[in-house]
């Protein structure tokens, strides 16, 4: 059973990621929020080793996204591309299920017809 400190650390990371998602374009925010919530939910009952790996990867994601959000704040919206290249070695370590998830995520994030089409009301 995870300790109180671990649970607190997981919650803090989860909340920080969702806060950072507020700075993403709307369609990426919706997709990202859904994905993060699902992943954290699926990994509630994992081994200590898996939990360590899970937390390390999500910490890396948070750090990358935080840097990109700060860069976007300095340059203005639309000038920064969010995301990062996935090294081939890391991809080789993925299980088939993870590759399937990654493929579905790629398809969803690159759809030409975004789920949301919000326009500013110019009255």
Asked if residue 37 belongs to a domain, the reply is: yes
34-42 own/partner pairs: CB under 8 Å, 24+ apart: 35/105, 40/10, 40/14
Domain membership of residue 102 as a residue range: 4-109
Asked if residue 82 belongs to a domain, the reply is: yes
Q: How many domains does the chain have?
A: 1
Asked if residue 120 belongs to a domain, the reply is: no
pLDDT single digits (tens) 76-120: 666 667 888 888 888 888 889 888 888 888 888 777 755 555 555
Asked if residue 117 belongs to a domain, the reply is: no
Asked if residue 46 belongs to a domain, the reply is: yes
Asked if residue 114 belongs to a domain, the reply is: no
Q: Please state the pTM of the whole predicted model.
A: 0.75
* Three-state DSSP class for residue 1: coil
pLDDT single digits (tens) 59-74: 999 999 999 998 888 7
């Amino acid at each position: 059973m995870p300790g109180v400190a671990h649970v607190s650390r997981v919650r803090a990371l989860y909340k920080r990621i969702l806060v950072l998602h507020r700075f993403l374009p709307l369609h990426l925010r919706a997709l990202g929020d859904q994905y993060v919530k699902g992943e954290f939910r699926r990994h509630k009952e994992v081994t200590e080793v898996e939990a360590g790996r899970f937390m390390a990867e999500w910490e890396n994601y948070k750090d990358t996204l935080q840097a990109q959000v700060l860069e976007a704040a300095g340059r203005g919206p639309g000038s920064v591309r969010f995301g990062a290249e996935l090294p081939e070695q890391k991809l080789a370590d993925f299980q088939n299920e993870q590759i399937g998830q990654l493929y579905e995520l790629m398809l969803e994030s690159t759809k030409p017809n975004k789920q949301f089409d919000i326009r500013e009301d110019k009255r």
